[in-house]
Amino acid sequence: MIKRGRNEVFTILNIIIMLLFIFGLYVMQKKQISFSKRVFTALGVGIVFGLLLQWVYGSSSEIIAETTSWYNIVGTGYIRFLQMIVMPLIFISILAAFTKLTITKNLGKVSGLIIAILVGTTAVAATVGIVTTLGFNLEAIEIEQGEAEIARGAAMEENYTNNVEGLTFPQQVIQLLPANPFLDFTGARSTSTIAVVIFAIFLGIAYLGVRRKEPEQADMFAKIIDSIHAIVMRVVRLIIRLTPYGVLAIMTRTAATSDLASIANLGKFVVASYVALIAMFIIHLMLLLISGLNPITYVKKAFPVLAFAFTSRTSAGALPLNIETQRKLGVPEGTANFAGSFGLSIGQNGCAGIYPAMLAVMIAPTVGINPLDPGFLFTLIVIVAVSSFGVAGVGGGATFAALLVLSALDLPIALAGLLISVEPLIDMGRTAVNVSGSMTAGTLTGKWTKELDETVYNDQTQRLETQDI
């Protein structure tokens, strides 16, 4: 009884401290301190406070369990709000891209280029992941499996067996198609995201047809879509305002409950992952440079949205900032909407490119496959590129992509659970690279179709302002 009472006192104390930190972030917002600074402050405070809690109580103590359950109201609540808006955001953003198209004849060229760049850079990302894994000599057999890793692996294997295993490749392609779009709006299937994208594209193409034959009806539809788009974007901005608080709670919980010994054992994988992610970001900059655009300008303008993606770990939540940043880079609004929206479900360079490739190369030796075999490497790159369709833009996308790639190569799925303890650390960098990939695709498409306003691109005053978020 005494112990329970003591635990409650310490839990209440921890909650009060968290509320004080939240109030501090609110004061920073009122003082109009930049959004990026507030988010990184929350990130740093959360990590330090979480480690302090673990040092005082221990990661598996009852006090930590009770405390983090209260912190989850803020952290998990923030994630739930992001998940709430993903499907409406993707759907309405793609439709709005059609209503904002000024030159209908460029539709196929613009959308084709964006998809080609997204998938092509994902194939390059897979190659980067392969080279990095081989360079660091990473192997799954070297990783110790604790209870958490074994449980995660078993859960992933069971989930995959119940949902995807046994389907042929043509059947998996059919799974991407929407039979009941209203069901897919609920996210009921693992391929719901790409299904919603396809449904939105059909409606968009139908709109363009109506615009040619019945312009009055099309104008009415466009006004409705643009109004809904404005409201949904406003909802997203309201959720984005919660980011510093969500990041604070999530990072505190993560730092307080993480197995630091496991993280230390996987330190080489974390370092290798970030080497690969940084290399891919440099490739984005090189593509811009080759196309005649200043990569330094891109970095300066893209930093706020990349910082948001890094700390929030959500590509979908970053979509409004993504599109707005592209506009500040001189990308036409329709192209920016297409690139940002397609980038949520197609060709995510970090989650669907680098990560599955690294896992496959690490796991291959456990089943007697030589990871240096050219045939294996070529097949892996192709499968990664094809499997990059339909990866969701909020938590779990990398895992789903990894499951598809590993199963297609007949590699043990359960071993993908080995990295559970470092997932949050790696996912921050992966998300930032995903967002950079979609912005690069939009910028390059604008440049190659000669629709990019280079005056706006080079204008340093045209930057995303986040003070008012």
Residue range 310-363, pLDDT digits in tens: 888 888 778 888 988 999 999 988 888 889 888 877 878 988 889 889 988 988
Tell me: domain 2-458, CATH 3.40.50.150, correct?
no
User: How many C-beta atoms surround the C-beta of residue 330 within 10 A?
Assistant: 22
pLDDT, mean over the chain: 83
What pLDDT shows up at residue 367? Answer: 82
What SS3 class is residue 346? strand
Q: Is the pLDDT of residue 27 over 60?
A: yes
pLDDT the model gives residue 342: 84
Please identify which residue in the block is written with the tokens 């789903």: 400
d(CA 149, CA 94): 38
pLDDT surpassing 50 at residue 153: no
Report CA torsion sign: 96, 97, 98, 103: positive
Short-list 365, 39, 390, CA closest to 194: 390
Do the beta carbons of residue 380 and residue 360 sit within 8 Å? yes
Tell me what pLDDT residue 418 has: 63
Top pLDDT among 171 and 248 is at 248
Query: Can you state the percent helix, strand and coil of the chain, rounding each to 5?
Result: 80, 0, 20
Q: For position 118, what pLDDT does the model report?
A: 92
Closest to 99 measured CA to CA, from 234, 208, 215, 202: 208
Domain boundaries, given as residue ranges, for the chain: 2-458
The confidence score (pLDDT) of residue 277 equals 95
What pLDDT score does 345 carry?
76
At 102 the pLDDT is: 60
The CB density around residue 103, as the number of other CB atoms within 10 Å, is 12
Q: Which of 187-201, 324-338, 404-418 has the highest average model confidence (pLDDT)?
A: 324-338
DSSP-derived 3-state class of residue 328: helix
Q: How far apart are CA 34 and CA 435, in angstroms?
A: 20
> Residues 375-399: what's their mean pLDDT?
75
Query: Which of 17-26, 54-63, 147-156 has the least mean pLDDT?
Result: 147-156
Percent of the chain with pLDDT over 90: 28
CA angle, residues 403, 119, 324, in degrees to nearest 5: 105
Tell me the pLDDT tens digit for each residue of 277-309. 999 999 999 999 999 999 999 999 999 899 888
Per-residue pLDDT for 468 more than 50? no
Q: How confident is the model at residue 144 (pLDDT cuts 50, 70, 90)?
A: low
| Nearest C-alpha neighbor of 323 from the set 100, 83, 112, 42 | 100
- pLDDT value at residue 265: 67
At residue 314, the 3 state secondary structure works out as: strand
